[in-house]
Amino acid sequence: MSEAVNLRVCVIGLGSMGFGVATSLLKKGFKARGYDISAETTARFVAAGGKGAASPAEAADGADVVVTVVVNGAQTEQVLFGEGGAARSMSKGGTILSFATMAPQAAEDLAQRAGTLGLNYIDGPISGGAKRAAAGELTIMASGRPEAFNHVRPVLDAIATTVYELGDGAGIGSSFKIVNQLLAGVHIAAACEAITFAKALGLDIDKIYEVITASAGNSWMFENRVPHILQGDYSPQSAVDIFTKDLGIVSDLGRGLKFPLPITSTALQMFIMTAAAGMGRDDDASVARLIAKVTGIELPGGPEAA
């Protein structure tokens, strides 16, 4: 086994993205440990060949690299520095790879706390979705010290096809991801509006999907999310609540900068209304279900799906 694969790695947060990250490491020969708040999910990782743990601290015991794949900055802080947190269990000189989307200031604060413990911190939000995570084909928008990148290079190579090194300071990676999330959220809301509008016009929405994906109006989100609507399957691959959080961060930053974000604000309200209608934990394509309910349109899957 190569020296690189001998890096002691743990993944904290084994949701749809984290599970893909952790199993990609296993496929590349890493003997990764994993922890999730759900014991059932941790057991699924063990069944896939990993080693489970009962707490972040146990997962990170002696680890050279800790990868956190949780929802936000608050959860990242908790699993790293809260009771039973991972940071104090790590090997000195180890590196934290933080993949959550959060406000840039939160990333800066976490990096400072890691530094006081003699740990490196890479602010590295990820993009690509659950399928690309499982295939080891993520895009990572990362910032941190060059020596930290050198330390975790084998881990990054195992889980991503594209790693952008965007600067030395934590917060830069998060800022890039926030711009991405602005576009992603707006595009999802627009895709949901477009496909339900097509239905209101009496069009064959399967044919609409075929035509639009071959035309200038296409977007990655239209191409990726509309099939969920066509299939009437809103099992969460990326939940509505993710975008109430992420577009909320965009909105907060815009307000602080006195920068107007009218399109983002409209998209945010669409996600908030969808969450308020009881679909916060469902797939983010559920914005289409909200529009369908308001307008009386029936989408594939019948009234239960709509």
Q: Which residues are catalytic?
A: 177
Question: Is there a contact between 179 and 166 (Cβ–Cβ < 8 Å)?
Answer: no
Q: Which two tokens stand for residue 15?
A: 């949701």
At 195, which helix (H) or strand (E)? helix 172-200
Angstrom distance (rounded) from CA 44 to CA 35: 11
CA 263 to chain centre: 22
- Sequence-ordered list of residues with C-beta below 8 angstroms from that of 24, at least 6 positions apart, any chain: 133, 134, 135, 136, 158, 159
The long-range contacts involving 292-297, CB below 8 angstroms and separated by at least 24 positions, are 292/196, 292/199, 295/196, 295/200, 297/196, 297/199, 297/200
First to last CA, the chain: 52
Please report which helix (H) or strand (E) contains residue 244, including its range: helix 240-257
Give the Cα separation of 186 and 284 in Å (integer).
12
Among 133, 134, 57, 142, smallest CA distance to 101 is for 142
Please say whether the beta carbons of 14 and 68 come within 8 A: no
Please choose, from the candidates 87, 118, 123, 120, the residue with its C-alpha nearest in 3D space to the C-alpha of residue 105. 123
